[in-house]
Amino acid sequence: MRRALEYSQHFGLVVIQHAEDLDLGAGGVMHEGEFSTRTGLPGLPGAAEGQIPTVQDARLPRGGEFWFELTPSLGFWSSQFALDSELAADGAKEPLTADFTGPLIDRLYPNALPFLTDINSDADALGYDPLAPDDLSFGSLDYREIANRSVVLPLGLEIGILDRLSLDVTVPLVQTRSESFFGYDTTLATVTAGMSAVPDPVAFFGGIEAAETQLTELIDGGTLTPEETAQALALLANTTTYSDALERRVMENLFLPVGSTTAGMQMLGAYDVLAAEYTAFGLELPAFELPLGATASDLDALFASAQLDGDPPGTVSRGYSVGELEVGLRFGLINTFTPITAFEEPPPTPLEPEEGPPTPPEEGQPEAEERRPVELSETVRRLSRRPPNVQFRTTIGGKYRFPLGKVNGVPYLDPSNFLAIPIGDGTTDIEISLFQDIRVGPRFLFLVSGYFGLQMEDEVDLRVNPPDQRFGLASTLGTLQRKLGDYIAARVAPQFNINNALSIGAEYSYWHKGNDEYQLLAGSVPTAEPLEVETSQTRHMLGFGIFYRTQDLWEVGRTSLPVEVSLIYQTSIAGSGGQTPAGDRVSVYLRLPFKVF
């Protein structure tokens, strides 16, 4: 080409050169882009004309590349969006404590009847009248705060099978933590745990047994009159009945009436009668007093009881566990993006006349006509090399998400814990996604994405209780067929490019899930409908982020490492559903591309 230009200079000729790879060109007649689309002419990819390779969709690696992705996020919330709550209007924020605070009797589901039946089972033996429903109270829980936190660490790998087709696999590591700060108000409690009533059961029941042994020796010694013997035998039987019932309730930490209630005073009165009769025989029973109120340990006894069989409130953590594995395919539909560096305008290089006199023609040759270079205007030059002002990139995807562990139990669904946050819902999902990127000039980028998730039916073991009665009794446990509501989600993220690598932007996300459906397969509860209450969720989040991308710069050799890093903060601004978390989320996105073949 250099020799051709040198020889043509002597004759004043114009040389036109066009660089093209015929294999890549594939019959094209003009540059692929906006004008080739308008005219209907077949386009050529940029590489065919010796230009910088077109950067593919940020969500789609090219064939032979794989991307390692790390996207940790931290979510934390202590409130939820209410649904016709007594404390908040529909859609307003209310603390998570709203469904936990209050008299424990009101938070038990379906009611306290199993406890009442158990306490009254020994009423005759212990000498008190059976309690009525209004006589039973476990005190109140005063939750000051429930603070939930989840840390998700997805490890992703996306491989470009073809330039427009990729396979991605994501393995998330999840940690959850729920901290509750509460006070236990015992002033209204009418029952106490057995261990609280008898702090030293060995010494107490040992003393009763010693008195019974001495009374038996008196009966067997023949020193008592027939009337006294009859009284002693009746006393021995009454003592055995009382002590056996009391010992069972103490050793199993079952509930007893407190000493300030009518039932408690009757129970103490019955013991005092026994003690007085022993005194008449010259014997002595150990002293016995019931607590006048409940204690903090009674709360643990309530949750450990056979009726509730649950973990007491407090801090509950689920260590890092592998969540729900995701496998997906992505396919690129449209991509008119060019590297952002293509918008850069090099300084103009106007044509300048050659220095010195023209070379005279050889002898016998006609004198060449003087040719003046045609100077193009700067506007024509700019338009000839400038990419389209509006560019589009569209990708669709499908994803299959499934749990790796057993759904029933830790770390997914644990029916015995009322505060723990599972690492996932444990169901299998099929998700369809659409990603639309729009670039307007070199400064503005709009990222829009939409998702639709179809959640599959499965079987789970759950306690059947509504949201406002958080403490479902053990008897409410059932085997259920579950169909979680399908979901739709959307994300809009306008960004402003400060330079070719750094940009800032806003983030808006929308999430909606339909109602869950449950069908009872086995269990003693009549229906599973309480689980369907307040299961539809809607949430809007708004935030901002900062983004650093060097992919375009790496493509043109202006950086040694292609990397994408972003930091995004979002907060919930609106929602509904009653159990929809209203909190904040901080996420980091890191992607490193590598060439495989």
Phi-psi region of 186 (alpha: psi -120 to 50; beta: other; left: phi over 0): alpha
pLDDT (0 to 100) of residue 51: 35
* Side chain identity at residue 314, one-letter code: G
> CA 469: distance to chain centroid?
23
| Three-state SS sequence of 203-253 | HHHHHHHHHHHHHHHHHHHCCCCHHHHHHHHHHHHHHHHHHHHHHHHHHCC
pLDDT (0 to 100) of residue 30: 39
DSSP 393-429: EEEEEEEEEEESS-SBSTTSB-TT-SSPPPSS----E
Cβ atoms within 10 Å, residue 3: 7
67 Cβ contact partners less than 8 Å away, ≥ 6 residues apart: 61, 156, 157, 158, 159, 591, 592, 593, 594
Both tokens assigned to 578: 């009653």
pLDDT (0 to 100) of residue 262: 97
pLDDT (tens digit, 9 = 90+) per residue, 353-372?
555 565 565 665 555 555 45
What is residue 165's DSSP assignment? E
Sign of CA dihedral 476, 474, 517, 580: positive
Report d(CA 176, CA 577) in Å as an integer: 22
What are the 10-residue block averages of pLDDT along the chain, 597 residues in total? 52 51 41 35 31 47 90 93 73 89 94 96 97 95 92 93 94 92 92 94 97 95 93 97 97 96 97 97 96 90 94 87 92 87 60 56 57 48 66 94 83 85 90 94 92 95 93 95 96 94 95 96 94 94 94 83 92 92 94 85
The domain 67-188+303-334+387-595 is placed in CATH, from the list 1.20.120.1810, 2.40.160.40, 2.40.50.140, 3.90.1150.10, at 2.40.160.40
Cα end-to-end distance, the chain, whole Å: 33
Report d(CA 1, CA 16) in Å as an integer: 10
pLDDT (0 to 100) of residue 34: 35
Mean residue pLDDT across the chain: 85
Instruction: Please state the pTM of the whole predicted model.
Output: 0.78
